[in-house]
C-alpha cells in the first residue's frame, strides 16, 4: 500500500495555515503579512493561489520535476576532476 498525499515542509504548512486564516476572515491581510514577513501583495498572491489550487498553492511550481540542467552521466565520466585535499589553510587542489 502506497501513501499518497501532499508532503509539506514546516514553513509551507505554516504559510498555508496563516493564509487560510486570512481567507476565512480570522486575520487581516496586514497581520498575515507581518506573521509571514511578506509584503501585502505577496499575501494576496498566495491567497489567490490557495483559493483556486488548495494545498498545492503553497508548493513551488517546480516541486517534483526533474531539472533540465543536469549533466548526462556519460559526460560526467569523461571529466577528470582534480584531487582536493584539506590543509590547515583550507582546500588545496593538486
CA distance 55 to 62: 15
pLDDT of res. 1: 46
**Residue 28, domain member (yes or no):** yes
Instruction: Report pLDDT digits (tens) over 28-52.
Output: 999 999 999 999 999 999 999 999 9
Domain span at residue 29 reads: 9-60
Q: Which residues on neighbouring strands pair with residue 91, listed in sequence order?
A: 86
| Residue ranges of the chain whose pLDDT lies below 70 | 1-4, 60-62, 64, 82, 84, 86, 88, 90-94
The dihedral sign for the CA sequence 7, 10, 16, 21: positive
**Residue 39, domain member (yes or no):** yes
The number of distinct structural domains making up the chain is: 1
Q: E-strand spans in 6-87?
A: 84-87
**Residue 46, domain member (yes or no):** yes
Compute the C-alpha angle 73/66/69, nearest 5°.
55
Q: Which residues on neighbouring strands pair with residue 44, listed in sequence order?
A: none
pLDDT of res. 57: 81
**Residue 48, domain member (yes or no):** yes
**Residue 15, domain member (yes or no):** yes
**Residue 49, domain member (yes or no):** yes
pLDDT of res. 22: 95
**Residue 13, domain member (yes or no):** yes
**Residue 92, domain member (yes or no):** no
Amino acid at each position: 500500500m502506497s501513501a499518497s498525499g501532499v508532503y509539506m515542509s514546516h514553513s509551507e504548512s505554516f504559510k498555508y495555515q496563516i493564509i487560510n486564516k486570512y481567507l476565512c476572515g480570522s486575520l487581516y491581510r496586514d497581520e498575515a503579512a507581518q506573521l509571514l514577513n511578506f509584503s501585502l501583495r505577496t499575501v494576496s498572491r498566495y491567497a489567490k493561489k490557495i483559493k483556486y489550487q488548495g494545498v498545492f498553492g503553497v508548493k513551488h511550481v517546480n516541486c517534483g520535476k526533474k531539472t533540465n540542467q543536469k549533466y548526462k552521466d556519460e559526460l560526467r565520466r569523461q571529466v577528470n576532476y582534480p584531487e582536493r585535499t584539506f590543509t590547515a589553510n583550507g582546500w588545496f587542489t593538486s
